[in-house]
Amino acid sequence: MQQIQDFYVGFLNLFPGFLHPAISIGLAILLVVSVIQVLKRNFVYLILLVILLPASIPILKNILDTLIGFVKFVLGI
């Protein structure tokens, strides 16, 4: 996670400081849209994964927590 944050900060440093909030919001929107597109295409597989593999729920929670932490970092919350 720290490597992703360092990469993101390095990416933001390529732009002037007044553009950082706009770039962060734009990237957060693109991230949300891409996750929605993936869920729309693979929704049936996601349902089967949750139904057939109850052990996957903690894994999915961990992935979701990591994504939420990254989005919070991107938005500076």
- Please, what sign has the CA dihedral across residues 59, 63, 64, 65? positive
Q: CA-to-CA distance for 42 and 76, rounded, in angstroms?
A: 30
1, pLDDT greater than 70: no
What gap in Å lies between CA 29 and CA 25, rounded to an integer? 6
**pTM across the whole model:** 0.53
Structure confidence by residue, pLDDT tens digits, 20-70: 888 888 888 888 888 788 777 777 777 777 777 777 677 778 888 888 888
**Max Cα distance, the chain (Å):** 49
